[in-house]
Every structure is written in C-alpha cells, then in structure tokens.
C-alpha cells in the first residue's frame, strides 16, 4: 500500500452553507461560521424555495401570485436572520427557486468555486426540509467537493472554534475509501490533531481456536495497512493511532467516536451512478454514521 502524501494544507476559500431555516440548519450554521473564521473563507448562504404541495392548479391566478410572493418574503426575512449571524465575515446570501435541491446546489458549487458544503439534517422527513436519506444524502453522494453534515445528535457547542482536536478516519481499505485518506491526514496536520485510523472487521459469532488465531493475524495485518496511510515524515505535526474493531461498521464507528471524544469523522463515499443510488440507500454506512454521530461527519466522494 502506498503511503499517503500530505504535502498541502487544507484550503477553504469558499464555503456553501445550505439552509432550510429549520433547527437542523441552525445547528449547522456555527460550524460554517467558525470554519470561515479559522480559514478566512467566504460563506455563501443559500436557501432553495421548492414547489409547495398546495393545489395551486385549482386556485385563481391572483391567489397563486400572492402566495408565491408571501413565500418569498418569508424566506428573505429568514435569510436576514442568517445574514446577521454572518456579520464580520465575507459572505453573501441568496434565495433561489428550484424544482429540486441538488441541481441548484450543483450550480452553486460550480459558479462560486465552493471548497466545502455545510448542511444540517434532522433525520426526519417533511416538505421543503433537508432530509436524511433523501436530500442530505443525495448532496454528499453527488457533491464533487467535501460535505460537512451536522446530524441530529451533534452536541451543542461542538464546533470548538472551527478547529478539530480528534479526527477519526474510518476506512474499509477499499480504493474508494483510501482515496479520501489524504484529506483526513491533511486536516489532522492543519489542526495538529490526534488522527485515529479505524478499520471495522466482521467477527465470527462463535470463534474457534483457529478462528482466534486467524483474527489475531488479520488484526496484525490490518494494523500494518492502517499505518501505511500515514506519511513517512518525521516532521508531522500530529499524532496518530491505528484502531481495529470488530462488529457492524456504522455502530462501531459511532461508538469509537463517542468513547474517544472525536470531534470530526471523515468518510469516503462512493459516487452515485443515478438518483436512486444517491437517495435510496437506507442501510448505507455513511447514512447511519451521519444520523447517529456525536460530531459532524465530513464525507468526500471518491
């Protein structure tokens, strides 16, 4: 396995903060703000007005126009509240109409040279909401840039000034997963953080003596594979530790994060090949981790 190269520091120049004005979005805003301050980044706050479920087809044209105008005025008023919380930062706010969230997000990423998307999710469904398993998952599976998702179990005040002190990189050692290792290593370097390298492996339900020997050998080999992720550089400004766990991957990732006081989890996610692959993978590891993690989860598409 090739050693990871971490020659460049993470540069965040443009952060896209996506909001639906829900409590989940409000919980994500401090992370966008503190990261922007720490990295001198510009914040692009975006709200997307989706078609309402009301039966406009059976309404008078004047009523339709009035309803749409009221909807836009309400969104602009809510965005003013966001704007006030971005005081002192380079930022811009925007309210756009669209039939779906992702096309508007994709356009914003391209036009504003976005380096990171920040989004909150509450794990529930609802009209015009950023839904775990739907919109939020589509974003982190389709986005060409990393996505920081703040899930419903993230502790209040967990943003710690935009710095991360314990970074957990969870990998299954597949090429797609390892492709994101440089990002975790660079973040640990930038923040002088402890980097935890985690591999979760299946464990036999009733291990025999031979199974135990094989487990010991597999664990030893796995620890070596994890150590190969870290660059061979005596001047690294972070410490690291390899951890091998046995069990269900998402559960063990979340549990290790809780036990070790992790404040950022980094995961590689596979590219969605079509919309269903992006929004209908309820058992996906990334989906489960984001939904239950005690800290933000940074997903980066391989």
Backbone torsion region of residue 261, taken as left when φ is above 0, otherwise alpha when ψ lies between -120 and 50, otherwise beta: left
pTM: predicted TM-score of the whole model, two decimal places: 0.84
* Residue 34, H or E segment: helix 23-39
| Strand-pair partners of 255 | none
Q: Among the residues of 40-98, which ranges form H helices?
A: 61-85
Strands 116-120 and 14-18: parallel
Q: What is the DSSP letter of 2?
A: P
* Mean pLDDT calculated for residue range 163-184: 87
Percentage above 90 pLDDT, the chain: 42
Q: How far apart are CA 94 and CA 108, in angstroms?
A: 10
If you average pLDDT over each of 160-169, 193-202, 223-232, which comes out highest? 193-202
Residue 266 pLDDT more than 90? yes
Residue 278 pLDDT more than 70? no
Q: How far apart are CA 284 and CA 3, in angstroms?
A: 28
Contact 279, 132 (CB under 8 A): no
Which of 3.40.50.12370, 3.10.150.10, 3.30.830.10, 3.40.50.300 is the CATH number of 14-301? 3.40.50.12370
Q: How far apart are CA 268 and CA 272, in angstroms?
A: 12
Contact 180, 167 (CB under 8 A): no
Pick 183 or 217 by higher pLDDT: 183
Residue 137 pLDDT more than 60? yes
Strands 264-269 and 166-171: parallel
Q: How far apart are CA 55 and CA 73, in angstroms?
A: 20
Neighbour-count burial of 60, counting CB atoms closer than 10 A to its CB (0-12 exposed, 13-18 middle, 19+ buried): exposed
The counts of H helices and E strands in the chain are 10, 10
Rg (the chain; Cα; Å): 21
- Tens of pLDDT along 191-206? 889 999 999 988 766 5
- Tens of pLDDT along 76-122? 999 999 999 999 999 999 999 998 899 999 999 999 999 999 999 87
Q: Where are the beta strands (DSSP E) in 2-88?
A: 14-18, 42-49
């Amino acid at each position: 396995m090739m050693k990871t190269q971490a020659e460049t520091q993470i540069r965040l120049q443009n952060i896209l903060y996506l909001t639906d004005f829900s409590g989940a979005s409000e919980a994500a805003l401090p992370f966008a703000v503190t990261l922007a301050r720490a990295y001198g980044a510009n914040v692009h706050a975006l709200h997307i007005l989706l078609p309402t479920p009301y039966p406009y087809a059976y309404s008078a044209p004047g009523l339709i126009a009035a309803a749409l105008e009221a909807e836009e005025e309400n969104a602009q008023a809510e965005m003013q509240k966001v704007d006030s919380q971005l005081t002192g930062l380079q930022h811009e706010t925007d309210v756009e109409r669209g039939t779906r969230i992702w096309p508007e997000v994709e356009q914003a990423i391209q036009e504003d040279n976005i380096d990171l998307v920040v989004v909150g999710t509450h794990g529930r469904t609802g009209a015009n909401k950023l839904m775990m398993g739907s919109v939020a998952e589509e974003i982190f599976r389709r986005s060409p840039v990393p996505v920081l998702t703040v899930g419903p179990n993230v502790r209040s005040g967990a943003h710690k000034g935009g710095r991360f002190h314990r970074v957990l990189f969870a990998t299954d050692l597949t090429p797609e997963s390892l492709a994101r290792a440089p990002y975790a290593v660079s973040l640990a370097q930038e923040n002088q953080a402890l980097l935890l390298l985690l591999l979760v492996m299946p464990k036999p339900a009733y291990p025999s003596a031979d199974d135990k020997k094989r487990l010991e050998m597999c664990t030893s080999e796995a620890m070596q594979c994890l150590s190969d992720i870290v660059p061979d550089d005596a001047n690294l400004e972070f410490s690291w530790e390899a951890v091998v766990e046995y069990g269900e991957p998402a559960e063990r990732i979340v549990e290790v994060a809780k036990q070790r006081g992790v404040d950022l989890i980094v995961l590689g996610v596979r590219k969605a090949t079509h919309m269903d692959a992006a929004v209908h993978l309820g058992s996906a590891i990334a989906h489960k981790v984001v939904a239950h993690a005690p800290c933000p989860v940074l997903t980066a598409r391989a």
